Structure 1
Amino acid sequence: MHSASAPRRVAVFGATGSIGASALDVIARHPDRYRATVLAAGSQVQALLALCVAHRPLHAVIADEACYGELRDGLRAAGLDTQAHAGAAALDQLAASDACDTLVAAIVGAAGLSSTLAAADAGKRILLANKESLVLAGELLTRRASAAGAEIIPIDSEHSAIFQCLRSRDASLDQAGVRRILLTASGGPFRGRGRAELAGVTPAQAVAHPKWSMGPKISVDSATLMNKGLEVIEAHHLFNIPGERIEVLVHPQSLVHSLVEFVDGSTLAQMGLPDMRTTLAVGLGWPDRIESGVGGLDLLAQGRLDFEAPDTEAFPCLALAWQAMAAGGTAPAILNAANEIAVSAFLQGRIAFLAIPRLVANALSTLPAASADTLEGLLAADQRARQITQAAIDHA
């Protein structure tokens, strides 16, 4: 599918977001090796058009079908040959097509799942930034990727770190010899605060993350530690590691991105400055190492590295994620959907910060976990969890 001489054809889904910007930055540094052939965005037509002018892709997709005319006319006005597309079906079609051999899957939320599955079925290399694909449908996605010979390389910093540590042994991600995985967490903006101190937290405070610049939804998930809970579920699926061998370690400096402990007593850690371009360069270049634009880590300048246990009493979302992972089936999908609705309500000022875990717990206890064999079943559980959570908010 990919010859050494021709540049890799990369589709960037979620091109107007921060991960899309980082991916395009790395791609632009290696014009001989990579070409951004497909750019996709949700509804930000003008931002997508600006990227098309800069990167001249073959295809541009806007998920919001109402924006199709504006995209088509804008491409024409800019004198570009880029073909305009709109809607979810176009995303799926292009993800599976010859237009790309590599997909940067960075669409936020369950909206990113269908195109990721399409790329998996087509045997693509998937640089996965979309948590929901693995949380909602981890069993399904990994099974289908494996059947089609697709390669999933995670590009969030923690899973990229684990991937790099595991691949230090041999070419496979076989888990023989692994004692446990240690996922690091920054602790978010409220690290060290007790439960009582979190009652009055505002959306603005929750979105002000100390280390990473992220979208509002992911920033709130980081503040509740749900983000880390979702990552535990992801690690379980990505690396085929049982949940009891995955632990979370709070590391406020965010320089050690995760660690893998082996049965011989050695622990490997992957370190680096907090910049997504490193993990994207790993995903694009693997097994080669390529220039990412990120500088090295000056440990003398950084000084000390601290580690502590997470406080699951103040941040119950982490414990809820373990619970959903243990239940299996549709439980992680229910957890994820309820959380999306709760976080959205919190950002709109409709509920308090501490109501987020309460609403998620309510959805998990109301809906029993069912089998996760089909996408339809998973999406049905997702919808029901959303309805239950929305109803609980409306009647509060």
Structure 2
Amino acid sequence: MTGAPRRRVTVLGATGSVGLATVDLLERHASLFAVEAVVANSDAAGLAAVARRLNARRAVVSDASAGPALAAALEGSGVATSAGAEAAVEAAALPVDWTMAAISGAAGLAPTIAAVRQGGAVALATKECLVCAGAAFMREVATAGATLLPVDSEHNALLQALGGQSVDDVERMTLTASGGPFRTWEAERIARARPEDALRHPTWSMGAKITIDSATLMNKGLELIEAHHLFAIDAERLDVVVHPQSVIHGLVTFRDGAVTAGLAAADMRVPIAHALGHPQRLATPAARLDLARIGSLTFEAPDMGRFPALRLAREALAAGGAAATVLNAANEVAVAAFLAREIGFGDIPRLVEDSLEAADRQGLTAAPETIAEAIDLDVEIRSLASGRLPEARLRAH
């Protein structure tokens, strides 16, 4: 990249864990990048600090009520500010070379699709785009001629392990899972887990929602759905293996029996740097693997009995249609209720399964044809799942 013009970048979700890891890399390679915009939900103080660190041209909070605080925090800085959902989409649509899409939840759909439509490279950490609206989202990517770069450690590892070869040559893609904090717990103890128990992830430091998804293994199920769309690979060739050391992040088995794997320290700056520098490499401060010190790597099959969320995600992927959209929306409602201590940990997959069955009975089975349809269905399913919360609360108490 030496001697090349600075690449223009935007960071969506700039105050989250992935966003801050991106900010760290942009700071370390400031001579290579010019930051057009940084976007967050409501953390005005955090976003203002990020905007100053990166000398961003614009800072946007999607929560309109946080707008005055952002403007005050950046007064005199020369950084333009705006607020509201529409402002976030407008910032995402600004013409840049590279966008980090790391707004969690279905709220990330509209800004991410705006980034895709402007045709640059999009580093995707917002899994809901592919889970809620996979086929429609990938059509948008193709129409815009955008470059989609996965930054989930597992999908990034698969991309690198694939090495540019055709998916037709792939016999199996395997995602690894740490197993979460409850890997060795008995089912009865898992069902009684509290939020503080579920938030103690053994290897990764992440936001609350994704950490709970890792504890239920729903996160791994959502990643299977993502991989299906990202790599245009059928569900039968996707697999999950539990690997507690989180050293290997993904494996590709080719039809000749050869296996390639993506290994790295459990540091999100590794896959983010791969996407940020693509097609070249950027230096990172991430720890280097010392396999002799690690000593051994272990693997085990996931237990669908103790972790039914993974089974539900597999079934949703196999069912197709609207099942993945329903799964994701119901899971977001369930996780929020668990974090609020309204339902128990074991009620998360039960509420998701109840919602899937209710959606099926109501005929909500057709896959969204557009992003707008996916957003509408997400809203409808959230309402449906929320309506089933009283029953789950009774079970919890």
TM-score (norm 2): 0.95
Residue equivalent to 1:216: 208
- Asked if the contact 1:221–1:227 (Cα under 8 Å) also holds between the matched residues in 2, the reply is yes
Residue equivalent to 1:46: 45
User: 1:328 and 1:121 mapped to 2: Cα distance?
Assistant: 25
Residue equivalent to 2:5: 6
Residue equivalent to 1:382: 378
Amino acid across the alignment from 1:254: S
Q: Shift of residue 244 of structure 1?
A: 0.7
**Counterparts in 2 of 1:385 and 1:348: CA distance versus 1, 3 Å:** same
1:232-311 alignment, distance < 5 Å: 232-311=224-303
Q: Shift of residue 122 of structure 1?
A: 1.4
- Asked if the contact 2:26–2:54 (Cα under 8 Å) also holds between the matched residues in 1, the reply is no
- Asked if the contact 2:179–2:215 (Cα under 8 Å) also holds between the matched residues in 1, the reply is yes
Q: Which is further off, 259-268 or 80-89?
A: 80-89
SS of equivalent residue, structure 1 residue 317: helix
| Residue number among 82, 87, 102 corresponding to 1:85 in the alignment | 82
User: 2:51 and 2:372 mapped to 1: Cα distance?
Assistant: 34
User: 1:301 and 1:3 mapped to 2: Cα distance?
Assistant: 36
SS of equivalent residue, structure 1 residue 176: helix
User: 1:230 and 1:3 mapped to 2: Cα distance?
Assistant: 38
Residue equivalent to 2:22: 23
Q: Which runs of no fewer than 5 residues in structure 1 stay unpaired?
A: none
| Residue number among 68, 93, 97 corresponding to 1:96 in the alignment | 93
User: 1:190 and 1:217 mapped to 2: Cα distance?
Assistant: 16
Pair 1:112 & 2:138 matched: no
Residue equivalent to 2:130: 134
Q: Shift of residue 312 of structure 1?
A: 0.4
User: 2:343 and 2:289 mapped to 1: Cα distance?
Assistant: 40
SS of equivalent residue, structure 1 residue 390: helix
SS of equivalent residue, structure 2 residue 388: helix
Residue equivalent to 1:394: 390
Amino acid across the alignment from 1:379: I
Amino acid across the alignment from 2:115: A
Residue equivalent to 1:64: 63
SS of equivalent residue, structure 1 residue 341: helix
Q: Shift of residue 351 of structure 1?
A: 0.6
- Percent identity over paired residues: 44
- Asked if the contact 1:43–1:64 (Cα under 8 Å) also holds between the matched residues in 2, the reply is yes
User: 1:4 and 1:151 mapped to 2: Cα distance?
Assistant: 23
SS of equivalent residue, structure 2 residue 37: strand
User: 1:198 and 1:30 mapped to 2: Cα distance?
Assistant: 43
Q: Shift of residue 3 of structure 1?
A: 12
Pair 1:319 & 2:301 matched: no
Residue equivalent to 1:339: 331
User: 1:129 and 1:377 mapped to 2: Cα distance?
Assistant: 21
SS of equivalent residue, structure 2 residue 302: coil
User: 1:90 and 1:321 mapped to 2: Cα distance?
Assistant: 33
1:198-253, CA deviations, whole angstroms, 9 ceiling, x for partnerless residues?
Answer: 12111100011000011111111000000000000000000000011000000000
Q: Shift of residue 4 of structure 1?
A: 7.0
Pair 1:329 & 2:321 matched: yes
- Asked if the contact 1:120–1:141 (Cα under 8 Å) also holds between the matched residues in 2, the reply is no
- Asked if the contact 1:27–1:34 (Cα under 8 Å) also holds between the matched residues in 2, the reply is yes
- Asked if the contact 2:60–2:87 (Cα under 8 Å) also holds between the matched residues in 1, the reply is yes
Q: How many aligned positions are there?
A: 388
Q: Which runs of no fewer than 5 residues in structure 2 stay unpaired?
A: none
1:8-67, CA deviations, whole angstroms, 9 ceiling, x for partnerless residues?
Answer: 111111111111111011111112212222111111111111112221100100111112
Amino acid across the alignment from 1:331: A
Root-mean-square deviation (CA, aligned residues, Å) is 1.5
User: 1:297 and 1:40 mapped to 2: Cα distance?
Assistant: 33
Q: Which is further off, 342-351 or 66-75?
A: 66-75
Q: Shift of residue 74 of structure 1?
A: 2.1
User: 2:64 and 2:2 mapped to 1: Cα distance?
Assistant: 35
**Counterparts in 2 of 1:3 and 1:59: CA distance versus 1, 3 Å:** farther
Residue equivalent to 1:360: 352
- Asked if the contact 1:24–1:36 (Cα under 8 Å) also holds between the matched residues in 2, the reply is no
SS of equivalent residue, structure 1 residue 367: helix
User: 1:35 and 1:29 mapped to 2: Cα distance?
Assistant: 12
